[in-house]
Amino acid sequence: MTAPDRLTGFSNDRFGLFLHFGLYSIPARGEWVQSNERITAEEYRRYFEQFNPREYRPREWAKLAKECGMRYAVMTAKHHDGFCLFDSELTDFKSTNTPAGRDLIREYVEAFRAEGIRVGLYYSLLDWHHPDYPAYGDKQHPMRDEEAYRGIPQDFSNYLRYFHGQVRELLTNYGKIDLMWFDFSYQDSVNDMTGEKWGATELIRMIRSLQPDIVLNDRMGGHTGSIHPTLQYGDFVSPEQYLPPKGMTDENGSPIPWEACVTLNDHWGYCAADRNYKQPKEIIRALVECVSKNGNLIVNVGPDALGVIPEPAADILRRVGAWMRKNGESITGCRAAEYEKPEWGRFTQGRDRLYAHIFDRGIGPVILPGMAGRIRSARLLCDGSEVSVARPWNQPDNDSDAFLNLPSGPMPDESDTVVVLELEKGESLL
């Protein structure tokens, strides 16, 4: 399959669920806790011995994701701490050896697949548990400043064999995997941990031979911060915690597939003290913004140590879901419209319809610049009711614009009221 074919499903899906789950849900101070607090392997082991998420029910997560209009999910098979949520033959540091005694990835994959949600796996390139992963002097290893780790003989090729071997396991033992999300490349004074350091070319060859249709993010390449990234080692770029102002393009201005990943509060892994949750409206508008720029949005939840998605996060997803149930048609399978961003909101475009997402109606009619005489019908997406398209008496003579006259009073949906526009015959969408 060529890249565009592989990406059709992914780009149609538009909206996904990111799941960061692991031992770090027990200290509950985010997934970087081991590095931030320079916790030794021995101390960190206590979480391994305690790990028992007895409320882990991925079937419920999958139902929630579906209710929210999400079409794919990505879950941490291994995060930076090296702990594996799957039954790898290559390590003992895995969920099947904890009190949980379960292959959590298998349960996740089966649950999401059963709900018809595409399944992705996150795999950390970093590994703070593996003895051959750079520790002393590394930028973020928990033991980066520990003299005792200086000069310890290491063989990075052992780590590469381990990492490639685990990817092989994940892509062999769990049926069809739709997406693989690697995280992340970096440079520091000691190492250049990017691209071929990961054996990326060889790894991708193996991945494609095992799962020809799989979609890959770009983070083996180390271009995360660039405005004009190149897709050397993957199919899409992954801007983190921001929405690119003009979408993503290469140096020649051609669009590049992208997915923005964002947290619902300020952490990926569970952080008990972090109550700084976004509003459902912000997520809805962020999703619309991504689609209006040909991008995807994946929003993250960090389940707690029992395996429960925190209620404030679940509540946001349900509210976004209520909007998606009525308005999902303007998101799934949609893309950027060839119209400039209007003052009142944004446009998205489906196969033969245009969607006006009205965030801020302002005073008076909503103006559709340059669309006079081109609109056959305008209806609210939430209830199908007609919206009148006519020039009001008080508008200056202007032959080019069309005017939507919305009912007075509060907007049907304060987050985003969507009007479906069908164009006159012969007026093709660009």
Read off φ and ψ for residue 110, nearest 5 degrees.
-65, -40
CA-CA distance, 430 to 428, in Å (whole number)?
A: 6
CA-CA distance, 140 to 34, in Å (whole number)?
A: 10
- In the block, residue with structure tokens 């995807």: 296
Task: Compare residues 240 and 422 and give the one whose CB is closer to ligand GLC.
Answer: 240
Q: How far is the CB of 89 from ligand GLC (least distance, A)?
A: 25
By C-alpha distance, which of 204, 208, 257, 193 is closest to 230?
257
CB 411 within 8 A of CB 426: no
Task: Compare residues 158 and 241 and give the one whose CB is closer to ligand GLC.
Answer: 241
Name the amino acid, one letter, at 181. Answer: W
3-state DSSP call for residue 163?
helix
Task: Compare residues 300 and 349 and give the one whose CB is closer to ligand GLC.
Answer: 300
CA-CA distance, 13 to 333, in Å (whole number)?
A: 6
Q: How far is the CB of 32 from ligand GLC (least distance, A)?
A: 6
Q: How far is the CB of 283 from ligand GLC (least distance, A)?
A: 16
Q: How far is the CB of 24 from ligand GLC (least distance, A)?
A: 9
By C-alpha distance, which of 390, 342, 332 is closest to 68?
332
Task: Compare residues 239 and 321 and give the one whose CB is closer to ligand GLC.
Answer: 239
Count other Cβ atoms within 10 Å, centred on residue 425: 7
Q: How far is the CB of 268 from ligand GLC (least distance, A)?
A: 5
Q: How far is the CB of 20 from ligand GLC (least distance, A)?
A: 6
Helices (H) and strands (E) in the chain, counts: 9, 16
Q: How far is the CB of 240 from ligand GLC (least distance, A)?
A: 5
Task: Compare residues 34 and 294 and give the one whose CB is closer to ligand GLC.
Answer: 34
Question: 37 is written with which tokens?
Answer: 């607090």
CA-CA distance, 353 to 369, in Å (whole number)?
A: 16
Task: Compare residues 154 and 224 and give the one whose CB is closer to ligand GLC.
Answer: 224
Binding site for ligand GLC (CB under 6 A): 20, 31-32, 183-184, 240, 261, 268
By C-alpha distance, which of 320, 392, 259 is closest to 66?
320
Task: Compare residues 68 and 261 and give the one whose CB is closer to ligand GLC.
Answer: 261
